[in-house]
Amino acid sequence: MAKNNYLPFRAKILEKLKQTEIDWTYRLECSLKPVFGQFMEVSIPGVGECPISISDYGDGYMEMTIRNVGKVTEGIDQLDKDDFLYLRGPYGHGFPVEDFYNKHLIIAAGGTGLAPVKSVINYFYANQGLLKEFDILSGFKTPRDILFKSDLDKWAQAFKVEVTVDKTDEDNIETAVAVNPQTNTSSWPSKIGLITTLIPDLQIPLLEDTRVIIVGPPVMMKHTAHEFLRRGIAKENIWVSFERKMSCGLGKCGHCKIDETYVCLEGPVFNFIQAQNLLD
Ligand SMILES: Cc1cc2nc3c(=O)[nH]c(=O)nc-3n(C[C@H](O)[C@H](O)[C@H](O)COP(=O)(O)OP(=O)(O)OC[C@H]3O[C@@H](n4cnc5c(N)ncnc54)[C@H](O)[C@@H]3O)c2cc1C
Ligand code: FES
């Protein structure tokens, strides 16, 4: 009998970890081995379905970090350890990770954009000889919105990590101090200002051998890409990942289309040569 691609399978929530007031990381029982950057369609029967990036995976589990913004994600927010989510996928094209070997990799992630690249960062953390240099730039609205604080601390032991916030919120102003990797104090963010303000001062000694990943809201991706182009990075050495409204995830419904491009099938990860036309 032909496989029904719309049929989800049941996955138990093994752990639920709070990131912010509205973002939670769910560790789900699952033995799939996705490509870094792919997404799943996540559903609750009778409520609905939505696309969510795979933020990490390992032996017998998959992780997703989900922001409560509406009907389905509110339903997911109500669930707890030992409850079940329904999944289908993985879908889409991920990051060409092997192309980054022996290169200077720069990841610029805005807000929940850090979720789809977390598995890429963890891969290079576990295999530290594979890159020549690694910079991680991460921007959030306020200190309250910072995701993966303990991971950022861990990554800062091995790589250059900068976390910036657009603005501080008053009761958290004391957190706006520089991180000290030696003492491993969780004191993000280190800067105040848009993520684009971090790019002019970046050390990029190996221009031809530098690869850039940008993930975040479309306006952030557009301006961040332009800053890297200004620094001399070639368009073909930049990748972005899109979060479009989707329904089927399978190239059937057209919800995700930008002009003639099906983001669910051809993306969500695109080289900037193609993405530049989708961002305007
Ligand atoms: C490839 C892909 C990967 C994604 N990965 C993640 C992830 O890792 N974590 C995460 O929290 N979210 C992710 N999203 C976004 C997530 O799919 C939406 O937040 C979700 O569909 C909202 O559904 P809802 O029923 O809860 O909200 P709704 O009730 O449908 O909408 C609530 C509000 O969110 C807006 N909205 C809905 N969908 C989107 C969207 N795709 N982009 C921008 N605004 C939207 C609506 O306009 C409305 O204002 C991803 C989306 C895509 C396409
Ligand atoms: S989500 Fe249905 S065609 Fe892309």
What pLDDT does 176 receive? 43
Task: Tell me, using a 6 A CB cutoff, whether residue 268 lines ligand 2.
Answer: no
Q: pLDDT over 90 for what percent of the chain?
A: 76
Strands (E), 95-254: 104-110, 133-140, 160-165, 191-192, 210-215, 238-241
Going by CA atoms, what residue is nearest to atom 18 of ligand 1? 50
Supply φ then ψ for residue 246, to 5 degrees.
-135, 165
Q: How confident is the model at residue 56 (pLDDT cuts 50, 70, 90)?
A: very high
Task: Tell me, using a 6 A CB cutoff, whether residue 243 lines ligand 1.
Answer: yes
Q: Which ligand is in closest contact with the Cα of 255?
A: 2
What pLDDT does 187 receive? 63
30-39, 169-178, 261-270: range with lowest mean pLDDT: 169-178
Distance 162 CA to ligand 2 centre (A): 35
What is the position in ligand 2's atom list of the atom closest to the CA of 262? 4
Distance 249 CA to ligand 2 centre (A): 5
Q: Are 131 and 155 in contact (CB under 8 A)?
A: no
Q: Where are the domains of the chain?
A: 9-91, 97-279
Distance 207 CA to ligand 1 centre (A): 35
pLDDT per residue as tens digits for the range 122-139: 999 999 999 999 999 999
Task: Tell me, using a 6 A CB cutoff, whether residue 197 lines ligand 2.
Answer: no
| 6: pLDDT strictly greater than 80 | no
What is the position in ligand 1's atom list of the atom closest to the CA of 23? 11
Going by CA atoms, what residue is nearest to atom 10 of ligand 1? 66
Q: Are 215 and 241 in contact (CB under 8 A)?
A: yes
Q: Which CATH number fits domain 97-279: 3.40.50.1240, 2.30.29.30, 3.40.30.10, 3.40.50.80?
A: 3.40.50.80
Q: Are 42 and 87 in contact (CB under 8 A)?
A: yes
What pLDDT does 190 receive? 77
Distance 255 CA to ligand 1 centre (A): 13
What is the position in ligand 1's atom list of the atom closest to the CA of 116? 8
**What is 9-91's CATH topology?**
Elongation Factor Tu (Ef-tu); domain 3 (2.40.30)
Let me know if the fold of 9-91 is the same as that of 97-279. Answer: no
Distance 161 CA to ligand 2 centre (A): 35
Averaged pLDDT, 72-95: 96
| 103: pLDDT strictly greater than 70 | yes
Whole-angstrom distance, CA of residue 108 vs CA of residue 79 = 31
Neighbouring residues of 78: CB distance < 8 A, sequence distance ≥ 6: none
Whole-angstrom distance, CA of residue 211 vs CA of residue 259 = 27
| 177: pLDDT strictly greater than 80 | no
Distance 13 CA to ligand 1 centre (A): 20
pLDDT per residue as tens digits for the range 195-218: 999 999 999 998 999 999 999 999
Averaged pLDDT, 79-106: 96
What pLDDT does 175 receive? 46
Whole-angstrom distance, CA of residue 130 vs CA of residue 79 = 38
Whole-angstrom distance, CA of residue 193 vs CA of residue 9 = 42
Q: Which ligand is in closest contact with the Cα of 42?
A: 1
Q: How confident is the model at residue 170 (pLDDT cuts 50, 70, 90)?
A: low
What pLDDT does 278 receive? 84
Q: How confident is the model at residue 86 (pLDDT cuts 50, 70, 90)?
A: very high
Q: Which ligand is in closest contact with the Cα of 262?
A: 2
Averaged pLDDT, 91-100: 94
Identify which of 243, 264, 266 to mutate to test ligand 1's pocket (most ligand atoms within 8 A of the CB). Answer: 243
